[in-house]
Amino acid sequence: MASNRPAPQATLPSYGVPHHTENHVDGEETWEEWNPTEESVRPVRGRHRVAKQRGGLGRSSTVLGVGVIAAVGAGGIATAQDKPAISISLPDLPDSFTDSLPDAKSLPGVGPFMSDDSGSGSRAGTSGEAVLAAAPLTTAGVTTVDAQQGTTDAGEALRARILQQAEQQQAAADAGVKLAAEKEAAEKAAAEAKQQQTAAEAEAAEEKREAEEKKRQAEEEAARKAEEERLAKLAASYSLPTSSYTLTSTYGQSGSMWSSGQHTGLDFAAPTGTPVKAVHGGTIKSAGWSGSYGYRIVLELPDGTEVWYCHLSSMTVTSGDVGTGEVIGRVGATGNVTGPHLHLEVHTPGGAGVDPAAWLRGKGLSV
């Protein structure tokens, strides 16, 4: 049996273990106490054989290996199986030293990996391999959900979870983009609908305005036609007081020729003897001399309106009823005048004077 050299740079206490030496001279073996000192310790070089395991897990190298396995299992190193094998080299120790070590099964975290069978080394190795096969190192970090889905490799489980998280994040991002697009489309549709509604309202308002304008124009046209018809009927029942005339003075005109300072009637200048007609059917209220008015005829109409014909040269009808357009006198220059003309005045039933030109136009007559 080849002897191993002591571990480098280590000072071990004396355990009273005899040191085995060989006497090559006489071929006999002798034992002496091994108590290495600093002078006798030298570096270990080369590779040393580990003694074969005998009768279970008794050697320190085996215990250390089981400890490593327990540490790997407890630490959750999922990729242990992918690491290269590491050779462990320890000096051979006598059985008396290994017998003082604790049982491997009593170590924390190691018991589940140990076989109850304390038989031969081959059986122990087989049992250990069965335990490790039942609980492979790569299952560290595999969740129950992963196991239910058939995943036994921690690396694959982590990769699957990463891919699942990536897919979830991508789905969330796609959902956000879709939601933003839907929101933008809804806002655009609402804006277009509002714009269309505004345009429709503006169009309806324009149509309403045009309809109201057309209605107003139609009403005005109807009113104009009705007035024309009314004036036509009035014109048929009213007549101008004379013909072949020239208007020389209007109602309300100022001047010193009139005692009141203003002209109170409408002057129709015409040659003397020009016929003077009744503007409408009525009754001769008075006829005769009237001072500055000269010869005057007062015609009272059915509504009480009085029409004064002044400065007449002669009076044809002095009493009774007359019809529209009937000759009642002739143009003259009697009274306070500067030339032959018909001075026409119109008075309301209350006696107030009005503009004869406006009154005649109101009856459908144009002067």
What are 344's strand-pairing partners?
Answer: 266, 309
- The token pair at 124 is 């122990």
For residues 298-306, average pLDDT: 95
Does an H or E element contain 19, and which?
strand 18-22
Mean pLDDT value across the chain: 75
- pTM for this entry: 0.42
Q: Residue 20: how many CB atoms within 10 A of its CB?
A: 14
- The token pair at 228 is 């024309």
Our CA angle for 1, 125, 80, nearest 5°, is 105
Based on the number of CB atoms within 10 Å of its own CB, is 251 exposed (0-12), middle (13-18) or buried (19 or more)?
buried
Is residue 54 pLDDT above 70, yes or no? Answer: no
Q: How confident is the model at residue 57 (pLDDT cuts 50, 70, 90)?
A: very low
Give the pLDDT of residue 175: 92
Give the pLDDT of residue 77: 46
> What is the identity of the amino acid at 225?
K
Determine the 3-state secondary structure of 300 from DSSP. strand
Question: Distances in Å between the alpha carbon of 6 and those of 44, 53, 136, 312?
Answer: 7, 21, 37, 173
Q: How confident is the model at residue 179 (pLDDT cuts 50, 70, 90)?
A: very high
Give the pLDDT of residue 189: 93
| pLDDT-wise least confident of 72-81, 226-235, 301-310 | 72-81
Is residue 133 pLDDT above 50, yes or no? Answer: no
Q: Give the residue, 229 or 276, on which the prediction is more confident.
A: 276
Q: How many CA atoms lie within 13 A of 254 on its CB side?
A: 0
DSSP state of 161: H
SS3 string, 246-295, reads EEEECCCCECCCCCCCECCCEEEECCCCCEEECCCCEEEEEEEECHHHCE
Q: How confident is the model at residue 16 (pLDDT cuts 50, 70, 90)?
A: very low
Give the pLDDT of residue 34: 57
Q: Give the residue, 157 or 240, on which the prediction is more confident.
A: 240
> What is the identity of the amino acid at 311?
H
- Please state, for a pLDDT cut of 90, what percent of the chain lies above it: 42
Is residue 113 pLDDT above 80, yes or no? Answer: no
